[in-house]
Every structure is written in structure tokens, then in C-alpha cells.
Amino acid sequence: MQGVRSENRPMSEINVVPLVDVILVMLILFMVTAPMMQQGIDVDLPQTTSQPMEGQEERVVITINSKREVFINQEKVDLLLLRRRLERSMAAKLNREVLLRADRSVPYGFVVQTMAEIKNAGIEKLGMVTEPLEVHR
């Protein structure tokens, strides 16, 4: 009679196989989708309504004027030499972040070409400098 009673009791063991299956599927999904999020040129665009950024160390600012001249801070640089100059100047810095300013009249293609050179120099973060929108009331 005791054998019959033990068969009717509820099972107190947890079946972990379905849990492991779900976790494995989620792991595979994250592994497949993570590289897809890294394509293209990564640009951290600041919001136009945000407050000015306060930095701990001096940031490198790349400026493109209306004549398509490229400057690193205040120094004029040829676009073909931009990558090498950035690699040399950013080698010792821990925070590899660059801010890009471009005149409104500069063609989009030239700005993207400059962004590609910055990215090829190994810069991890590229911020765009903007002016706040004027609100007419």
C-alpha cells in the first residue's frame, strides 16, 4: 500500500530542460543581432534642446568651413592627412572622442567623407556640434 501512495504524490522536482532551452535560444538571438547594430558610421548626435556639455579634458574639435577647409582645433589640415594627424594626436588619450562642426553650406557628401576619415583614424565617439533652434514667440 505504501507504494501506491508514493505514486500519487505531486512531483517536487523542477524540470530545468525547458528553462535551459529558452535561455539558449535567447543567447543565440542576442549573438546574431548584436553585430547588426554596429554597422554604419556611429555618430552620437546631441539633442538641440540639451544643455552644453561640460568636459573633464580638452576635446578635439574638427571644423569644416564654407570653403571645405578642414581644421583640427585651430590648425588647418588637408583632408588626405586628417587620419594620420588624428591617429598621432589621439594615441595618448583615453577618451577618444571628437566633435565635428560643419558649415551649413558644405555638401553632405563632403561631411560624410570627413566623418569616414575620422572613423578610420580609430575614433570611438563622434559628436556633432549644433546650434539650438530659435523659438519665435
- Over residues 116-136, the pLDDT tens digits come to 998 888 887 888 887 766 655
Q: Is residue 133 part of a domain?
A: no
Same domain, 29 and 86: no
Q: Which helix (H) or strand (E) holds 115?
A: helix 108-120
What confidence tens digit (pLDDT) does each residue in 40-78 have? 434 444 446 655 556 555 778 888 888 888 888 888 888
With CA atoms as reference, report the closest residue to 100 among 81, 88, 114.
114
Domain count of the fold of the chain:
2
Residue 25's pLDDT band (cuts 50, 70, 90): very high
Full residue range of the structural domain in which residue 9 is found: 2-37
Burial of 13 (0-12, 13-18, 19+ CB in 10 A): exposed
**pTM for this entry:** 0.54
Same domain, 28 and 54: no
Q: What is the phi/psi pair of residue 54, to 5°?
A: -105, 125
Same domain, 58 and 105: yes
Query: Backbone dihedral region of 127: left (phi > 0), alpha (psi from -120 to 50 degrees) or beta?
Result: beta
Same domain, 81 and 48: yes
Cell of 16: 530545468
